[in-house]
Structure 1
Amino acid sequence: MPSCPLETGELINLLVAALLELDRNAARDCFQRSALVPLAFAETVLAPALERVGTGWERGEVALSQVYMSGRISEELLDEILPPQQLPDTSHPAMAVAVLDDFHPLGKRIVSSVVRASGFRLADYGLIGVDDLVRRAQNDGIRILLVSTLMLPAALRVRELKECLDRDLPGTRLVVGGAPFRLHPDLWWEVGADGTSATASGVVPLLRRLIAELP
């Protein structure tokens, strides 16, 4: 007899335990027991679980190797459950996504999957610092830059990033996301970004609005 779907909080607890124990099968089982569609699972269970792992590392309760492997397992699970990407629409302006000064790419990975599945071109700059990010954006003629952060210090560096973009690549729009911006709803505005979304699914309509506003 199939088991009943679990509540979100219980799923997060189970997934955190699976990630810290490096148990891929247990992580996969969390999705199967959730009764959630893949994107909802990624946003409401997988992302919060990984944020909790990151917080544990900040507090000295979790080893960096566990954080790294948690990310690997999470990305493997996303590859399994998210739909295949559509061919990109080359008429859209050049866009890129990056993780700023953080060690964890899960938020970027979720957003990338959703944006690409919606038909947008999206260069992936990976984990990168401010100077290299601005340099690559300049070289590629990026018009919209999506930046993900997991920890507050990295989120605060968005202000420096925005200043560099305004100086070296004026007109480029900056979209930010991640735990600090969900916990502090006005932070995106305070650091000078052009928009944020609390969920990956909300990024696509935000991108469409920014594209329409580009000169």
Structure 2
Amino acid sequence: MRNRPDSVMLFAAGFGTRMGALTRDRPKPLIEVAGRALLDHALDMVREAGVPRAVANAHYLADQIDAHLRGTGVAVSHESPDILETGGGLRHALGLLGDGPVFTMNTDAVWRGPNPLSLLAEAWDPERMDALLVTIPAENAVGHNGKGDFLMDDSGRLTRGPGNIYGGAQIIKTDLLHDVRETAFSLNLLWDRMLESGRLCGIRYPGQWCDVGRPEGIALAKAMIGGDHV
């Protein structure tokens, strides 16, 4: 039983403070890489993977996200007056996303290789997983200098530790969201519970990935998708 999700949450509400002056007058998801907004790079993968329903959350300069998505069929979940973080934002959008597990995807990364959402759908097994994360081996992460987020055993189960980097794409069951008292909270709270039960799993991405969280990531991502990094 695969129980493939039919909706995706695109995280687009953040302030993008690491981008400095670039996000003074526009939200980070609308920064361009190779002539296209980061949000559009993410939407390309949503459409290519055949996910029928997409929702983007919005808080910082939300009117620009609204305008950019007008006429695309993507619903917008507004977070006001306060930003809700990933967990609170996902819970707030459930009325638009529908029941059951969902894809979630950050909008500040660029991928080169197989569609990560398609890989997730193929590997998803709800009988033994509460979430399935795309992780990036360090050698496939362009411009990333961190030590990594997760270790993975031979069955795909994750534990925290230096190793693979979380790529910002996953399938996650949403039931546990309702057990959190806080209004604004990170999905790390749910992951910690899943780690305790051995139901947080991952797959390794075989292509390349670039985090566009800082200004220098723009040129690196452009070079990567242009073929300058092999």
Structure whose residues are more often helix by fraction: 1
Please, what TM-score do these two structures have when normalized by structure 1? 0.30
Using CA pairs under 8 Å that are at least 6 residues apart, name the structure with larger relative contact order, 1 or 2: 2
Bigger Cα Rg: 1
Structure with greater proportional strand content: 2
